[in-house]
Amino acid sequence: MARQGWPASLFRAAGTLRESVFPPRPCPTAPGLQYRFSKKARRSQVADLLEVTEAGLYCAAGDFYIDPWRRVPRAIITHAHADHARSGCDRYLCAAPGKLILRTRIGGGSPIDALRYGESLLINGVRVSLASAGHVLGSAQVRVEHKGIVWVVSGDYKTAPDPTCHPFEQLEADVFVTESTFGLPIYRWPHPDGIAAEINQWWRANQAAGRTSVLLAYALGKAQRLAAMVDPSIGPIVAHGAVMKLVRAYRDSGVRLPSIDGVPPGARKVGNGRALVIAPPSVAAGRWLRLFGEVSVGVASGWMTLRGVRRRRGCDQGFIVSDHADFPALLQVIEATRAKRVLVTHGATAALARLLCERGLDAAVLPTHFTGEGPPDASPEVEEAEENAATSDAKSAAGPSDAAP
């Protein structure tokens, strides 16, 4: 495919590739922390298989992008969250279990090719395969192999069990591009079974008090996972329109979920104080919650580890459940890749890169536009959920099928 007309490498144009592909720079999440490359690290950056360009992470040998943040001719997508999957590319490639979800998110038009996990494809002589990232349904790590060198781009990943998606598959690589949304030692997740028990208990207690339980979570992945985690015999499960749209995509992709109802037009006191309502975080600020009478609001997020965030979100209950790896899992996965070189994106990048350097790895921050589960108060994922919710709010009287754009 012709590359003319598409932006050349930002950094290559700016200077020599060796000096500038991953320039040392302050990490936005930890100002003042700078990582400097060793001489060896600088040498190893010559002729990289993947590089950061204006349009995203680019493989020149194969002429394709991974999770580009601009419109490009050929995009390989790790998963359908907003910071990784943007509409308007000419052609997409994703893991087969996530194809329907990607279509739901980017809309019609551009063709989407799908690869089964483990299946490989030659693109201009570069071998590409996808392995499960365990993050949301269809999430993939992208393995790129060329001239005996293997890069793996993790996208977002988790190793914790999730009944709604394939388990994380451990790969080995020469260079591993890892997320680090929760790359600080304070982030350690309790087992999901314990969290499920906590949510069930909270739901029962609210029922006893005649209150509806509203659980706020991302519409893609987390909401479906929570529905599958809780005990559906306690009462009805009701979901916001933005969630319902993806519940349907999950079901059509073959994932079994308990019975979940949308909010009927003109409804009042939905669930009569007995229901568990799953909705995106932004509904907390709107009038939508008034449909349910008296409510107790819970938030399900890895950020619930932070007391300040719990307080600022003004929720009654925080549940620590994340679709990202916690700190110990990040280190475990990175070590198991046996990669000598690790490039860190998302979140606590500088801190994790520095720690990996101290452990003898050639690690650096890879500047990208990815945001992981989103910083505590604003991120594309949160903004998108808000957008969905705003549209849903306006249309809620028209029925759940119209609820999300």
Instruction: By CB under 5 A, tell whether 326 contacts Zn ion.
Output: no
Element holding 276 (H helix, E strand): strand 276-279
Instruction: By CB under 5 A, tell whether 56 contacts Zn ion.
Output: no
Indicate the pairing of strand 295-300 with strand 212-216. Answer: parallel
Query: Between 64 and 370, whose beta carbon lies closer to Zn ion?
Result: 370
Instruction: By CB under 5 A, tell whether 372 contacts Zn ion.
Output: yes
Query: Between 83 and 393, whose beta carbon lies closer to Zn ion?
Result: 83
Nearest approach, Cβ of residue 208 and Zn ion (Å)? 36
Nearest approach, Cβ of residue 132 and Zn ion (Å)? 14
The span of 39-47, 64-72, 251-259, 363-371 binding Zn ion (CB under 5 A) equals: 363-371
Instruction: By CB under 5 A, tell whether 218 contacts Zn ion.
Output: no
Task: Report the half-sphere exposure of 397 (CA within 13 A, side-chain side).
Answer: 3
Helices (H), 187-259: 192-208, 222-229, 241-252
Nearest approach, Cβ of residue 346 and Zn ion (Å)? 6
CA-CA distances (angstroms) from residue 298 to 146, 198, 304, 355, 389?
A: 47, 11, 10, 34, 17
Element holding 255 (H helix, E strand): none
Instruction: By CB under 5 A, tell whether 162 contacts Zn ion.
Output: no
Query: Between 231 and 383, whose beta carbon lies closer to Zn ion?
Result: 383
Is the separation of the CB atoms in 183 and 344 below 8 Å? yes
The span of 22-30, 56-64, 102-110, 369-377 binding Zn ion (CB under 5 A) equals: 369-377
Nearest approach, Cβ of residue 350 and Zn ion (Å)? 17
Nearest approach, Cβ of residue 30 and Zn ion (Å)? 18
* CB burial readout 124-149, b (16+ within 10 A) else e: eebebbbbbbbbbbbbbbbbbbbeee
Instruction: By CB under 5 A, tell whether 68 contacts Zn ion.
Output: no
Query: Between 83 and 162, whose beta carbon lies closer to Zn ion?
Result: 83
> Which two three-digit tokens encode residue 35?
């990582």
Distance CA 77, CA 86 (A): 9
Nearest approach, Cβ of residue 248 and Zn ion (Å)? 20
Nearest approach, Cβ of residue 136 and Zn ion (Å)? 6
Instruction: By CB under 5 A, tell whether 81 contacts Zn ion.
Output: yes
Instruction: By CB under 5 A, tell whether 370 contacts Zn ion.
Output: yes
Nearest approach, Cβ of residue 366 and Zn ion (Å)? 13
Bridge-partner residues for 180, per DSSP?
none
The span of 73-81, 115-123, 326-334, 389-397 binding Zn ion (CB under 5 A) equals: 73-81
The dihedral through the CA atoms of 238, 241, 247, 252 has a sign that is positive
Instruction: Tell me which residue of 218, 161, 144 sits closest to 371, measured CA to CA.
Output: 218
Instruction: By CB under 5 A, tell whether 138 contacts Zn ion.
Output: no
* CB burial readout 218-246, b (16+ within 10 A) else e: bbbbbbbbbbbbbeeebbbbbbbbbbbbb
Q: Which of 48, 51, 156, 162 binds Zn ion (CB under 5 A)?
A: 156
Instruction: By CB under 5 A, tell whether 241 contacts Zn ion.
Output: no
Interface ranges with Zn ion (CB under 5 A): 81, 83, 156, 370, 372
